[in-house]
A = this chain, B = another copy of it.
Amino acid sequence: MNSIHPDQLLESLRWRYAVKSFDATRTVDSITWKAIEQAMVLAPSSYGLQPWKFIVVTSPKIKAQLPEISWNQTQPQDCSHMVVLAVRKSMDESYIDSYVQSIAETRSVPVEKLAPYRLMMMGTVQKMDPESVRSWNTRQVYIALGQLMTAAAVLGVDTCPMEGIDGKAYDRVLGLSNSDYSSVVGCAVGYRDASDKNAFAKKVRFPTDDLVEYL
């Protein structure tokens, strides 16, 4: 496997910041976008359950509706691809069965052989109340968010994570209101505008010695 040099990774991660102003004239090309899309699809999740959906808005008409349900932030409109990461609100037997089916087909193993794994997942879920399941699923969505931003950075694509969105209003606009999924967090993807002064602000982090402890 080809790997990159540690210095190149660090350069990308230091280059990344939460973009305030996107260049509305620039679009992520389709080859680069496909890799970012697959970075989300390939994101790790607990048991591999993928309790998420990724809604990608590129329609100018829909994008134009987003700032007013995002505390008037303009990133959802000006970016190239506005990603809304949605969580599966519950985790029921039929979903787990569809996942087990997916494993069986992908790996050409009989469903019966996966019974112990199925039982383990069911056991985990049945121990939790609905609110805990939703929180657990939501945490997985944040893994995908992390993978999305890191992947974009190494590809030289800018992002802005956006918790400041009105989830219920997003659900309405995106057609999720009566679905099993609900908007959790946004991530605007595209290219920084040359006028965005935040690009030049020094990155603020607590000292490594305060954040990382070695034992």
Contacts and interface: CB of A to CB of B under 8 A. Distances in A.
A189 to B, nearest CB: 13
A211 B54 contact: yes
B156 A150 contact: no
A34 interface: yes
Contact of A53 (B57, B156, B211): B211
A96 interface: no
A32 B58 contact: no
Given A146-B150, A147-B150, A212 B53 contact: yes
- Chain copies in the assembled complex: 2
What band does the interface of chain A fall in when counting residues whose beta carbon is under 8 Å from B?
A: 35 or more
Of listed A37, A56, A139, residue having the most chain B CB within 10 A? A139
Contacts of A128: none
A103 interface: yes
B156 A39 contact: no
Contact of A154 (B4, B58, B175): B4
A79 interface: no
B201 A107 contact: yes
A27 interface: no
15 contacts: A3-B12, A4-B4, A16-B44, A18-B44, A38-B208, A48-B204, A53-B211, A56-B213, A99-B204, A99-B206, A106-B204, A107-B201, A139-B139, A140-B142, A143-B145
